[in-house]
Amino acid sequence: MITEIGAFALLLALAFSLAQLVLSAAGRIRRSTVLAAAGEGAALAAFIGNLLAFAALMHAFITSDFSVSNVANNSHSEKPLLYRIAGTWGSHEGSMLLWCLALTGFGAAAAILGRTLPRGLKAVMVATQGGLGVVFLAYTVFASNPFARLTAVPVEGRSLNPLLQDPALAVHPPFLYAGYVGMSVVFSLAVAALVEGRVDAAWARWVRPWTLAAWAALTVGITLGSFWAYYELGWGGWWFWDPVENASFMPWLIGAALLHSAIVTEKRGALSGWTVFLALAAFSFSMLGAFLVRSGVLTSVHAFAVDPTRGVLLLIILGVTAGLGFALFAWRAPTLSQGGLFAPISRESALVLNNILLAAATATVLLGTLFPLIREAATGEAISVGPPYFNLTFTPLMAALLILVPAGPLLAWKRGDAAGVAQRLWIAALIAIGCGLLAFALVSPRKAFGAAGLALGFWLITGSLAELVERTRAFRAPAAETWRRLTGLPRGAWGMTLAHIGLGIFVLGACFETGWKQEAAETLPIGGSLDVGAYHLVLETIGGVEGPNYEAERGIIRATRDGAPVCTATPERRFYPAGSQTTSEVYICYQGLSHLYIVLGERRDTGPQPVWLVRAYWNPWASLLFFGPGVMALGGLVSLSDRRLRLGVARRKVQAA
């Protein structure tokens, strides 16, 4: 019964989205506030309908209602409650429902929070958001119905892939989808700006909070996914340049570019056409990601549900939606104003350079992901594009960008002073280079590239701090004045500093981990040992463990360093009878910022006594890989709380006056 209510609520959400589109569009055309308000009401109703549908599906998963096809295919009654709940979005159908929930949720939020928007702009935005809702809800209802019933009800479900049975499943997709779909508001705002023919500072100011929110959520989502892959797959890797990872990375890069170009549009009225273009591109890349992950055109280690027919539908949705957006852009963009002038050395130029490099980095990821498909379709020759390609193209582009990051915020608008910037940054540069040289001299084995990467990471941190020192006149003005300036800094400035420092932290982790990770693998009998880095590992025992829906072999491995005990690792090798699958449960000993990463492999009975394959990795500074992006996302949130961006501030001020 509840399932039927859910299915009905989903249909209602679709109807309300259609009403939202029609009413808001009519409100704009007839300049009727009543119709526009009705459209906003429909946006809220669509969200509520979608929320009910989502709750109904979750109910079916929690109660293990195997008469629902989606539950029967993806759940199991013995699965722990958390994974039954998270299983709601663990399948293709459920994840599309989550996508729609986020889409209608953002639509309703934009309708409610956008009080200060000009009426025409707002009506077009709400209508566009409604149009997106119609497309995706229609797809969900007609092509991937999560509520489809089975006539022959199975006694037991087929269970969820054990790889997905992890607490990360509860948090990773919601963040990722909030990020993906948050970009839809930016898309709708861009469409509205093009329809209204007005892209100005005020518009850029409305775009920024939505971009910040979506980008911060995407940062958290990607990082959680990276950490999940890191400990779940058991390969000790955190980024594989896999098509699915690339699909999430492209909207992130474009979102980052948009955050920077929107600043130029807001402060200087320039780059308006480009900012609108990026705003359209961000959600287009989100949709491209949704298509790539589900269509099966690309093979991936994180593959989802694969179904070519659905892929075709998603491709049509992507083509039509993005196509309409960009056609509108091509038609209307030439009418947009050029905006303020700037010199070659200026903050505008620095931000343009940032955008060029981020766009080129996105092009790298896009080409690396799609070129094999295009080439095979065109010539019939299959090629592979793997990590070596990205290391040769993406990495130098990013390195060039990172070198420039600290200089940008120190340059003045319109006409900057390169010598002045150099003067303010030379201490930071010296410290960073010194740290790099120190790493080159002290860390063995010696690696010039790794040390240069570390210097770059330090440069991002020291350079950002130098900018903070400059802004607060620290060490030059009296402490009281510095303190006053420090507390008076806008949140946006703090956000930027945090995000840039977070990037530096990530670069440190990435370079140290990649350059100096160590690996060891041996087949060990009970009592056997292996060495990795400075650590000595002894396999003490192997015992059996009975989990809720699996059986496992658990190794007790004691790690020592110079004879002193460090930790007792308990990696497992689990067998899930429901799908007869085996997984490894990695054990990570956290040693400061570094990880001692231990995997228990298969048992081998070839010799006189049984042996187990044990792999161990020493991943120095690996924690920074996940901590750095966390700081970046925090920077986004702090910037989001800036007074300037707080929605409704302008109106309240007007009322007070």
Partner 1 sequence: MKLRALFAVLAGVLCIAAASDPAERLPDPRQEAQARQIFQDIRCLVCQNESIDDSDAELARDLRQIVREQVRAGRDEAEIKRFLIDRYGEFVLLRPSMSLGNMALWAGPFLVVLLGAALMLRRLRNRTPEPELSAAEAERLKRIANDEPA
Residues in region 91-150 near partner 1 by CB under 8 A: 92
User: Judged by CB under 8 A, does residue 368 bind partner 1?
Assistant: yes
Q: Which of 15, 55, 613, 650 binds partner 1 (CB under 8 A)?
A: 613
Q: Which of 6, 146, 221, 243 binds partner 1 (CB under 8 A)?
A: 243
| Token pair for 64 | 């293990």
User: Judged by CB under 8 A, does residue 377 bind partner 1?
Assistant: no
CB of 585 vs partner 1, minimal distance in Å: 11
Question: What are the DSSP E strand ranges found in 491-610?
Answer: 518-524, 529-532, 535-546, 551-561, 564-569, 572-576, 581-585, 587-591, 594-604
CB of 114 vs partner 1, minimal distance in Å: 19
List the one residue out of 175, 49, 42, 158 whose CA is nearest residue 100: 49
CB of 295 vs partner 1, minimal distance in Å: 12
β-strands 572-576, 611-619 pairing: unpaired
The region, left, alpha or beta by phi > 0 then psi within -120 to 50, assigned to residue 539 is: beta
* Comparison of 357 and 640: residue with beta carbon closer to partner 1: 357
CB of 516 vs partner 1, minimal distance in Å: 15
User: Judged by CB under 8 A, does residue 233 bind partner 1?
Assistant: yes
The region, left, alpha or beta by phi > 0 then psi within -120 to 50, assigned to residue 100 is: alpha
What are the residues facing 596 on neighbouring strands?
A: 589, 618
* Comparison of 345 and 545: residue with beta carbon closer to partner 1: 345
User: Judged by CB under 8 A, does residue 440 bind partner 1?
Assistant: no
Q: List the strands of the sheet with 611-619, edge to edge.
A: 518-524, 611-619, 594-604, 587-591
User: Judged by CB under 8 A, does residue 379 bind partner 1?
Assistant: yes
List the one residue out of 254, 260, 257 whose CA is nearest residue 289: 254
CB of 452 vs partner 1, minimal distance in Å: 20
* Comparison of 388 and 488: residue with beta carbon closer to partner 1: 388
Angle at the Cα of 406 (from 405 to 412), degrees rounded to 5?
Answer: 100
The pair phi, psi for residue 130, each rounded to 5°, is -65, -40
Q: Which stretch binds partner 1 (CB under 8 A): 37-45, 191-199, 218-226, 359-367?
A: 359-367
Q: Which of 44, 315, 520, 545 binds partner 1 (CB under 8 A)?
A: 520
First to last CA, the chain: 55
Cα 421 to Cα 343, 401, 425, 426: the distances in Å are 15, 17, 6, 9
User: Judged by CB under 8 A, does residue 470 bind partner 1?
Assistant: no
Angle at the Cα of 426 (from 425 to 431), degrees rounded to 5?
Answer: 100
| Token pair for 23 | 């009413």
User: Judged by CB under 8 A, does residue 341 bind partner 1?
Assistant: yes
CB of 363 vs partner 1, minimal distance in Å: 5
* Comparison of 12 and 352: residue with beta carbon closer to partner 1: 352
Residues 143-182 that bind partner 1 (CB under 8 A): 158, 161-163
Q: Which stretch binds partner 1 (CB under 8 A): 32-40, 102-110, 192-200, 303-311?
A: 303-311
Q: Which stretch binds partner 1 (CB under 8 A): 317-325, 521-529, 536-544, 545-553?
A: 521-529
Q: Which stretch binds partner 1 (CB under 8 A): 349-357, 446-454, 509-517, 548-556?
A: 349-357
* Comparison of 106 and 231: residue with beta carbon closer to partner 1: 231
Contact between 555 and 614 under an 8 Å Cβ cutoff? The reply is yes
User: Judged by CB under 8 A, does residue 531 bind partner 1?
Assistant: no
